[in-house]
Amino acid sequence: MNKKASFDMIVNLFRLLFTIVVFVSIVFLTRAFIQQKIDIFEAESKLLAHRIVLSNDINYIDMDTGRTYTGIIDLQKFASEDFEKNILNSIYYGKINSEASAKITLKYNDEGKAVEVEKFYNKELYNEKKVLIEAKLIGAGAARKLDTSFYVLVKDNNNLKEGVLNIDAILPNQ
């Protein structure tokens, strides 16, 4: 009887050890397939780019009807000195915008010459975060950049020209 009890104890220990191994295996497998962090950088940067493209501060607005023509860039608005102030006020991320920045480049042909107009959304932050990107830093505190291009029409007085609006959005890593 004593030998039978010791044999049952050994079998129970093996059962317990097997149960622990199965439990630990299940935990490791579920952790391997469950994503711990959701990366929303691409969605955030595309949202910023679309907010810039759809902003009333760069699009042509018909004075008679008040209609905004998205995709038709008003060159007078885009080339104005108050562009950055206007676009910062229209796309509002909080009192101190320390999150989003972008370089907005409009390229079009004017009488056979290639013209490129460059503007910024939050220029100081863009220059600050651009250094982090060039240094190829990763992790929290660093930043990432996403380039988005849109085919647009450029309205210069009463002339419409084909162009490309390129937005380089820089956002910090979370």
Ranges of each domain in the chain:
1-36, 41-172
Task: Tell me the C-alpha distance between 70 and 129, whole Å.
Answer: 29
Mean pLDDT over all residues of the chain? 85
Task: Tell me the C-alpha distance between 28 and 31, whole Å.
Answer: 5
pLDDT at 163 (0 to 100): 92
Q: Calculate what percentage of the chain has a pLDDT beyond 90.
A: 24
pTM recorded for the entire structure: 0.73
Average pLDDT over residues 18-31: 92
The first and second tokens of residue 115, run together, are 């013209």
For residue 72, how many other CB atoms are within 10 A of its CB?
Answer: 17
- pLDDT tens per residue across span 39-61: 788 888 898 899 889 888 888 98
What's the longest Cα–Cα distance across the chain? 105
- At which residue do the structure tokens 């317990």 appear? 16
